[in-house]
Structure 1
Amino acid sequence: AAREQAAGPQLDATPLPEAVLLSAQLALGGDAVLMSPACASLDMFDNYMHRAQVFVEAVNALAAEQGMSLEGGL
């Protein structure tokens, strides 16, 4: 029931870099993107630090593809 009442679309994407790319493709200026795992990542990541590293690498790669540099990195 809560999913139907959400303010925006909910999308499934695996792996994490795909989710970052999909979010960037669909978000419009001023949009906020909430990335929240729907369940345990099981064997996808060694731990929460590894998951964060994969996320940061995906965001930095996307920025580089767009010719952008994130100040101080992400």
Structure 2
Amino acid sequence: MKALVEYIAKGLVDHPEDVQVSEQSRGRRYTKIVLSVNDSDRGKVIGRGGRVANAMRNLANVSAAKQQQRIDLEIR
């Protein structure tokens, strides 16, 4: 899941070198992914009304569901 989020985020931002993704396992079936981007790119990753962020969350959760996992994506 971490690689998927990183790939999507780097394609959206102007400063892909500033994209950092960390993964924190919380139990057997729950993982928290923290996405950090450059301040000037944060709006691009979140999108109008949070649409891009929600789409990224949905993609991550669909991918995780195949492995019976649940993902929480936090954008900083």
Give the TM-score, by structure 2 length: 0.36
Q: Between Structure 1 and Structure 2, which shows a larger proportion of helix residues? A: 2
Q: Between Structure 1 and Structure 2, which shows a larger proportion of strand residues? A: 2
User: Which structure has the bigger radius of gyration?
Assistant: 1
